[in-house]
Structures are given as C-alpha cells and as structure tokens.
Structure 1
C-alpha cells in the first residue's frame, strides 16, 4: 500500500485529477449499468407476467364459450371458443421467445400439447353433441302421429268400429308421449330415462301389432309403414345414451388438458411474480451498495489527492516565508517527480543558491574588511 501511495505521488497532477474524476465517473456508470440491467430484467418479467395473465383470461373466455355451447348448442360459441384458443396460442408462442430456467421451460413446453389435446377432445364433444341432436331430430314422430290420427278418424264414423278408433287414438297418445320422454332423456341423460323411452316406443309397437287384425288391408299396410318408422327410431333412441357417455368421457379428458394448461400458466405466473419482487429487492440492494461504495471511494480519492497536493504546497510555502524573512536555514528536498516535487526542488535549490550567494558575499566582505585594515595600517606606517 505504501509503495502504491509513493507511486501515486510521482504521477503528474493532471493525471491524478483525471484518475480521480475517472474513478467517480466509472462508479457512476456502474450504478447506471446495474440499474439498467435490473430494470431490463424486471421489464422482461413484467412482460412474461402480462402474457401469462392473458393466457389465463383468454382460456377462461374459451371455457365460458364452450359451456354456452353445451347449454345452447349454438355453433357461434364454438367459433368464439376457437378464437380465444387462438389468442392463447399466440401468447404461448410469444412466451417461448423469452429466456426461462430449465424446469420453467419444461412446464412451458407442455402448453402446446395441452392445447392440442383440448382441441381434439373439444371436437369429440361437439361431434357427439351433433350426433345426439341428430338422434333427437330422428325421434320426432309428428308425421307418424298424424298418420295414426287419420286412421282413427276413419273408424269413428261407424259405431261398430268405435273401439278400433279408440285403440288407434291410444296409439297416437303413446306416440305423443314419446316426445315427452325424449325431453326427459335430454334433461336426465341416464340409462333409466333411455330405457323408459325405448320401453314406451316398444309399447307403441305392441299396440300397433295388436290392432292390426281389426283393420282393413289398406290400413294395415299404412300402420305397418308407421310401425317400421317407429322401430327405426327405437334403434336411434338406444344410441343416444352411448353418445352422451362418449361426450362425457371426452369432456373429462378435455378438462384434464385444460387443467394442465391453467396449472402450468398459474405456476409460471406465480414464479415470475415472485422473481419480479426478488429482482426489485436485488436491484435496490446492489444499487445501494454500489452507491455507498462510490461515495466512500470518491471521498477517499478526494482526500488522497487533496493531501498529496496541499502537503507539498504547505511545505514549500513555509520555506518561501522563511526566505522572505531572511531565514535561509531551511532545507527543502523531495523525491517526488510530479509538478509539486519540481516546485519543491526549485524552491530548495533557490534557497541553497541564496545561502551560497550570501555566504560568498560575507566572505568577500570579510576579505575587503581585512584588506582595508591592512591598507589603513600601511597608511599609518607611512605617516
């Protein structure tokens, strides 16, 4: 340390000042760089948080749209669901451009797969919903009911066939009851409701078979055509519950894919939020430490440079004041090689030269006095 101070003493004053100001400037730059770096890190994390929040919000909108489709079977809600999923895709692609830690990157890489699985299962649920709508549409017996009603009316004219007319009207009521049980099946979606519907259709077919012996050949053919149509609808009714169960299973798988997406995005959101707070605290700590270090080093540098300038100036001033008072006994020497060292050496040499000149003058005066004395003595002798 002592050697370093001695070496620093020999540095020119201009360089000392430049080094001092340069050190202060360097520390200021360090504070600025630290602040900029941490602010940039915080900015990146804030953007990540914004994207993750957008994923959660858009997926919530997609989920709401799908639920509306389940309730209404309106295709516009599937379009809205897909639009929200596209927004989620864009956010995921944007997140993949940012730097992540290993485990975070693995979590992020699961999101595209979860989105693909969600879309596949959503397509299955939509397909099964459309299939059930088709089944329900096929179970409409309006035409068949009208045909049986017309047959019943043709037998009400003759009192002998009133019983046949009543039996046909009972069949018509059964066909009307099928529509009620279809509604119950849509509401309950249970095997019991499906069996009740199938059983009611079977009863209607049995009633038609039982009434045929009382009908004319032409009416038997007409009723047989109705029976054939109702039998086909009975097969459709049996496929309804299988479609519902398939949709329910697809919905469960869809929910799993959605859970993967929301869990991963929520976890990343919480981690980034926590990391942001940590970055803020770290930025405050580092900037405070560097600022304190800059202040201390600046004060130390100012003290050293001031001391190295004022100390030799004070010594030189004291010698100059002694010379001004006529005291040439001072001895000023230094090993410094800077401007102040040169000044001290110049003043010391001037003091030495003045002392030598005055000594020479004193010696000359003594010699002159001695010569004058000798001349005076010679004059006395001559007298």
Structure 2
C-alpha cells in the first residue's frame, strides 16, 4: 500500500457514505510508517527522505505523496474516480471542478502526522495532497511539464524551462484560503509561458511556494566562466546585453515589459514579489556557491540589461565596453556624454537598497545638471 492509499484509508477516501462522501478513520488507523521496500530509492525516484529538507526532523509534503511516478499517476486516477460527480477528465477545463470540490471539503483539511521511523516524521493534509496529485497530472498530460523527485521538495512539478515547483507545499499553504488550482494554472500559464488559455482572465495569481530552477552549483566552474567571458569582444558583449533584456521580457510576460518608462514601476513590483523573500536573503550577486546566488546574479544581469535598454531608448546613447570600465551605457548630454552602469544599478535594486524608478529619475537629474554645467562653461 502506498502513502496515498494509506491517507485514503485514514480519511475514508474510496469509501463513499450517505452524508459527505467520506468516512471517518477508525481508532486504529491513526498513523503509519512506510515499509522497508517502500522506503528504498528506485530508478523512478522512489520514496525517500530528501537530504536537504529534514529540517527539525520533518519531511516535506512532496516526499509523502507517492513512492514513484506510476503511483502519482494512479493517485490522480483514483482521485478522479472517487469524485465522479465532478467532470475530472484530466483536461485543463476540469480544474475549476477541482476547486469546486475543495470548497466543499475545506472543513476537513486536517493534517495527518506520520511516523517514518529513525526519528523522522511527516505531516500531510489529504485535502491538499489528493487534489494536488490530480492537478499535477493535468499539467503533465497537457503541458510541457513532468513529475520529478527534487532533493529539496520530494515529488514536484518540473516545467520545460527548468523550473521546479513545490506543488504539494503550495497546495497545503493554500488550504486556509480560496481553493487554489485555477489560480495555480493561470499563474503557470503566464509566468512559465505555457501554451494554454487562462481559466479566469479576471482572477488573481497564486503565491507559488519554493520555486527551484533546477540549477546545480557544482556545474559552474568559475575559472571556465571567466575565461569564456574574456574571449568575447565588445560587439559580442553588447549583443549579449540586448539579448539579456529580451530574455527578461520573455521570462515575465505577466508584467508586460514594453521598454517604457512606466514599465519600471512594474519592474519594481517584480523585484518585490520575486526577490525580496527569505529565499534570497543570503544570496550574493556574482557568487556561484549556491543556487540562490546564481539565480540572483542571472536575474540581476537580465533586469539591468532591460533597465539599460529603457534608458537607451528613452534618452538616446549606446552601449560601450572597455577593458577598464567594462560594459556601460553612454548617454548624450549637451556636447558631451555621460556613462552609467545599468547592471550595477540593478544589483542595488535587487538587493532592496534602491528602486529602478528612483534610479531612472536620478539619471535624468544628473544628465540635466551636467548639461547645464557644460552649457554654462562651469
């Protein structure tokens, strides 16, 4: 019996009754421990305790969801069969029915504590885990997504762009609020760029927990990276920065980055929403020692490149690269020019020390002052 089956037994899943479709657990069905075979790792990922997530000796929700991918598929099929009064046909259009079902069951969103042995225990709410398994299977069957066993999250959704989402934690975190799955679907369609239609064009977007880009710091060789950068000439580096700006636009379609000055307010909103949380509290731009730092560096470069392109398009000028000063944006002022470093400015903004809107205003102010001085001959 898999973990999902255990949870169904404990909370009455698969045994409909006359009142609400579920039965109460019996006194002797209070907890369980996976057997030795179920706890072993398999080529398919298998049930195991993720090495990086046993904080306070508790196991993440995704590690308790299934023992392998086949069981995840079976869990979703069983969920759809059990709730047959809803149209759960594994299409995106069925996701509103999942939310409708969750809305009728949230009062039963109690957590089950499971003793896993060796000092570890886990807790899971079936009213989050079961719908999450179905929702994940819908994403796998209809979009560029797959189940993966993540060393931080346990079973999670991985999208074609490399992002790994802790879907079971996200579902659990949403238990006390509105049913989350339509919001999750639309969040992924917009933020990941999935080829699908929004289910609720006027609805909100979900706070997705623990997004992992699937980056391994061990894959980054600092010396090799530095050597490769040193081989690129100024023209190639300038072409790169324009490409980085486009990457930024494509990565965040929900923010409608159109290179306008007004879009800098949305850029500040993005920084607050995505990079001001605890996940990046200890991250260091330029470091390749951990995933958070690598991600922060990449987003700093992309956001700085976008900011530089907004400056260039609005104020004129061009990108310049020298061995001494690196990559800068040269902006015209009176009969001369002033140089700024948009990526260095972005580092300050993503660190929370400044905003892009204030930086833009500052650049305008400096250019006006320098222009006045040049014109007066001071």
TM-score by length of 2: 0.20
Structure having greater relative contact order (Cα 8 Å, sep ≥ 6): 1
TM-score by length of 1: 0.20
From the two aligned structures, give the one with the greater helix fraction.
Answer: 1
Larger Rg: 1
